[in-house]
Structures are given as C-alpha cells and as structure tokens.
Structure 1
Amino acid sequence: MANTDDRAPPLVSLRDVHFAYGERSVLSGIDLNVHRGQVVAIMGGSGCGKTTLLRLIGGQLKASAGVVEVDGQDVGKLGGSALYALRRRMGMLFQFGALFTDMSVFDNVAFPLREHTDLSPAVISDLVLMKLQAVGLRGAAGLRPGELSGGMARRVALARAVALDPMLVLYDEPFAGLDPISLAIVGQLIRRLNDALGASSIMVTHDVHESLEIVDYLYFVADGRIVARGTPDEIRASSDPFVHQFVNAEADGPVPFHYPAPPIDSLLDVRLP
C-alpha cells in the first residue's frame, strides 16, 4: 500500500462539487481527495454518480458548482489546449476495455504513443512490448481483440491506459464481467503498476472484496453525497449501516430495494373476491 504524506497537497481534490443533468441532481456537495501514490475506490449503487465523478476529473463534464482540481489546476476553468495537456498526463481504462477491434493488441497499446508523442517507431515498439510484458501479454502482441478472452482484453486495455506513464489513472468498473481468476489478476496489476509508475489511481467499482485487498482508501456515494469513507481496515470494522449493507450485499438497509412509488394498494381498482 502507498505511504502518503497527508500534509502534501492532494493530486486530485473535489470541494463541494455539485452536478446535475438538466433538472436531475446527481452530485450534491462532494468532497474527495486523492493523494499521490494512492489507489482509491469510489463505490455506491448504480446511478449514484460514480462515473460522473470520473468525467468531472477528466474534464469531459464541468461541475455546476464547486471546484475540481487535478495537480493544482482547476479543471473546470481550463481552456482547450490546457485541458488537452492535462489529459495527456492521465490514463483511462474504460468499462469492458473498449479496445479498437480492427487493430492488433500491439497497435492498441501503441495508439496513445503514436498520437501524443514524436517517438521513433523503434522506441514505440520497445515501450509497447515493455507494457505488454508488464501485463503478461507480450506473446499476444499480434492478436486481434476478438481473439482474446475477457480477462486478456482487460489486461491489454490496462497496458494501453499506462502507455504514457500517466500521473493519474482512472478506472471505470475494471472488474466488470471478469471471472474470479482474471479479476484477481487485474486487481493485482492495478496495484503493482500504480506503485511502479509512482502514479495515483481512482477506481469506480462494485467489487468490494477485491478493492479492500488493493486500495488505500474508499469512498461510498449515495444520493449524490459521500456517505462513508475510510481505509480498508476502517471499512471492515465499520458499523455504519450503509457500509454494512454494501459490503455484505444485503437487500435491506439505507439503500432501498424499491424505487419511490405510491403504495400499490392505491393503484389497484380491482380486488380479487
């Protein structure tokens, strides 16, 4: 796990962040910090705003109110060229990998290097093979995504996400759809690559138990707010009702099973005899 200096400014800082899609409020006063070297998980029920947080950090969306800072820069105030330069220092692993299906594994990983650097083909080739070696797939360089298993595809996507040695890597559901072995492998790679690069990582995920093994800190989101936070040990020991329900996958708790609706009896005009 990362040894961080809490006195140092965080790499990512969200302060009283609000966001809405039209009239529908999604985030209401989010405060969140990610320090250098940390792997941080953001958890919560579907539709609670987790992926929206990643988009705010990456600058795809702008907060309705509050401040989103990355490496001391107010993301919401950056112009096009400055935002582009900041994004070059970030990596992104999309849900289910999002590999280019008409490119080989090698070309998928080489893509950001070719787009964003002036490196020679020989240097790019060496870097791509190094990244694939790090995820155990150097031998698959010539394959197409359609020839890969789900776990292999996710590892290629991880190699692509770290191709430019980013300071920050964003993961949107990195464990979705993986079998237990692939899930554990990807989790270990996220931790190892983060530490090897000296980067910071933010994971949006539903996988509590794998996250508790690899992250430094967790945030739980519900109703657009941070409702719980802590280290893995603090989360395991927590008596907070929301944390207990989420960690133990219980149907009954602060997160209701039913979406708000009038009592069903009031809608039934016909009763059985």
Structure 2
Amino acid sequence: MTPDAPPAADSLVELRDVTFGYDERPVLRDLSLTVPRGKVTALMGASGGGKTTVLRLVGGQYKAQKGQVLLDGSDIGAMGEEQLYAARRRMGMLFQFGALFTDLSVFENVAFPLREHTSLPEALIRDIVLMKLGAVGLRGARDLMPSQVSGGMARRVALARAIVLDPELVMYDEPFAGLDPISLGTTARLIRRLNDALGITSILVSHDVEETFRIADQVIILADGGVAARGTPDEVRASPNPLVQQFIGADAEGPVQFHYPGPTVEQDFGVAS
C-alpha cells in the first residue's frame, strides 16, 4: 500500500523536505513547496536549479532520495508500477519543443493517449480528439504531419495531446522556448484559458519572466537546492533577495556567476601567479 499523508489545504501536489541529486551533484536539498489546486504555479530560476527535476519527481521518473513527493496526499515515490501508471493518468505533460511523434499525423498524435489508456470506441475517440484540437484552434489541421506545421502550432498540438485525457494536473516544461513573440503570447494565453476553463492545476517551468508572470498565480524561484522566493508575481518582483532580482532583471552580475566553479587559470595552464 502507498502511505498517504494529509495534503496541505487546497493543494494537489506537495513536496516535503525533498532531497535529490545526480551522482555526487546535489540538486534539491530539503525542498518543500505546495501547488494549489486550480492554479498556475510557475517554477523559475537559473539553469540547473532543479525545475525540470521537480517535474520528473512529480511524474515518477525519479524517486526522491529523501522526503516525499505527494499527489493528492499519496507518496509517488512509494507507488508500485500499477499505482504509478494510474497516477500518471491524472497528469498531462507538455514536453519541451512538443515531442510529437513525427510519423503520426496531428490527429493520431492527440489520439495516442486515448488508445494507450482507454478502450473507447473509435467514433468517440474521433469526437474527443476533434474537440481538443478545436480548443487549441487546430481542428482544421487534423490531417497534417508534424513536419507540415510551425513550431507554435506543434506546441499547440502537444497541448491538445496533454489535455486529451482530461487530467487534473498538467506540467509544462519550457513551453515558450523557441517561439516567436506571437506564438509565445498565443501559447501563454491558451495555457491560462485552458487552466481556468477545465479547472485543472498547472505547473509551468519557464525562463520567460514577463509572459510567465502575466499568467501565473504563484511563482516559485528555485536556487541553491531550495526556494529563494515564492508568492504572487508582484510579491516575487518585490523580493529583496539579490539572486531573485538578478534573475528577474536578467543581470550579468550578481550571485549567479557566469563561470562554473573549477580550478583557477593558473592551475589549469601552469601560469605563475
């Protein structure tokens, strides 16, 4: 049995004192955070801060080395294969750059989760797929191949696929990366609109400060394995933390250094000091 714990009030996802690292490189240290139901929570921070790692822990790809990752009070890390498979049916995932199946049409890409996880008749699958494509404005593109659609359209197809099973939770890994300003704005508004219309909970990993702050209810800035700031976009903007201000202002100088820690130039090149 999966050990359950009372969830934080009105939260769907909760991390409690989570520690995780790759080999000898720690990424998260005693991290605790909550994701409120029905809201858009943005995970932000410098590269390598653990944002995508959090998504992988929630999705059960990784297990916390210490602490708990809870979905509606159930510990994902303690789930067996069958329980984890059932939990993942409650989630949708928009991968970075969409990750569409290149040899399947737009329609077949969106239909794939329905065929994988349900035994619905083809007529009903067709109706559901067309409704989800309609929700992202691409019902007319059903017969196109991924190579025939733009980057922004591909991201919307991937979004339709992510919501086709009507998940409670949708996770977005850099949904704005590589998009032109028009596609970026369209995708951002679509994420916000779908979240509100479908009553889902969203976790959004992004480096785009302006667009993310525009649609997020809660912003969490990760740094040094923990939370550097959290709150509404306005509250995070007002944070006195120098690292947060460097990130928001895209400043070259600050706590986050350009050079990765390592030997000195003298040590590497044998130059006398």
Asked whether the two chains share a fold, i.e. TM above 0.5, the reply is yes
Report the 3-state secondary structure (helix = DSSP H, G, I; strand = E; otherwise coil) of the residue aligned with 1:11. strand
User: AA paired with 2:95?
Assistant: F
Percent identity, aligned pairs only, is: 64
Shift of 1:265: 4.4
Residue 197 (structure 1) aligns with: 198
Secondary structure of the structure 2 residue equivalent to 1:69: strand
Which residue number in structure 1 is paired with residue 178 of structure 2?
Answer: 177
C-alpha separation in 2, matches of 1:73 and 1:85:
12
Q: Residue type matched to 1:206 in 2? A: H
Q: CA deviation at 1:23?
A: 1.8
1:212 corresponds in structure 2 to: 213
Structural mapping, 1:90-169, within 5 Å: 90-169=91-170
Q: Give the secondary-structure state (helix, strand or coil) at the position aligned to 1:146.
A: helix
Q: Distance in 2 between matches of 1:83 and 1:105?
A: 28
Q: Secondary structure at the match of 1:29?
A: strand
Partner of 1:223: 224
Quick check: 1:88 aligned with 2:81? Answer: no
Cα offsets for 1:53-96 (capped at 9, x unmatched): 10000111000000100011110111110110010010000000
Superposition deviation, residue 264 in structure 1: 2.5
Aligned length: 266
**Secondary structure in 1 aligned to 2:11?**
coil
Q: Report the counterpart of residue 17 of structure 2 in structure 1.
A: 16
Deviation at 1:151, TM superposition (A): 0.2
Determine helix, strand or coil for the equivalent of 1:113.
helix
Shift of 1:192: 0.8
Give unmatched runs, 5+ long, in structure 2.
1-6
Cα separation, 1, equivalents of 2:132 and 2:9: 30
Structure 2 residue matching 1:169: 3-state secondary structure: strand
Spell out structure 1 runs of 4+ moving beyond 3 A: 265-271
Letter in 2 for 1:151: G
Aligned pair 1:37/2:52, yes or no?
no
Q: What is the TM-score of this pair, normalised by structure 2?
A: 0.94
Question: Which runs of structure 2 are paired with 1:248-263 in the superposition (5 Å)?
Answer: 248-263=249-264
**Per-residue deviation at 1:267?**
4.7
* Inter-CA distance 36–270: structure 2 relative to 1 (3 Å threshold): closer
Distance in 2, Cα, partners of 1:90 & 1:205: 19
8 Å contact kept, 2:265–2:271: no
Deviation of 1:15 after TM superposition, in Å, equals: 0.7
For the aligned residue pairs, the C-alpha RMSD in angstroms reads 1.5
Q: Gaps spanning 5+ residues in structure 1: where?
A: 1-5
Q: More deviation in 84-93 or 260-269?
A: 260-269
The Cα of 1:118 is off from its aligned counterpart by 1.6
2:101 aligns to what SS in structure 1?
coil
Post-superposition shift, 1:262? 3.7
SS at 1:203 equivalent: strand
How far apart, in 1, do the equivalents of 2:80 and 2:268 lie?
52
For 1:147, the aligned partner's letter is: Q
Measure, in 1, the Cα distance between the counterparts of 2:234 and 2:136. Answer: 28
Once residues 242 and 261 of structure 2 are traced to their aligned partners in structure 1, the CA distance between those partners, rounded to angstroms, is 20
CA drift of 1:46 comes to 1.4
| Structure 1 residue 209: Cα displacement | 0.7
- State how far apart, in whole Å, the 1-side matches of 2:212 and 2:46 are: 15
TM superposition shift of 1:266: 5.1
The separation in 1 between residues aligned to 2:154 and 2:29, in whole angstroms, is: 35
Separation (CA, whole Å) in 1 of partners of 2:59 and 2:8: 24
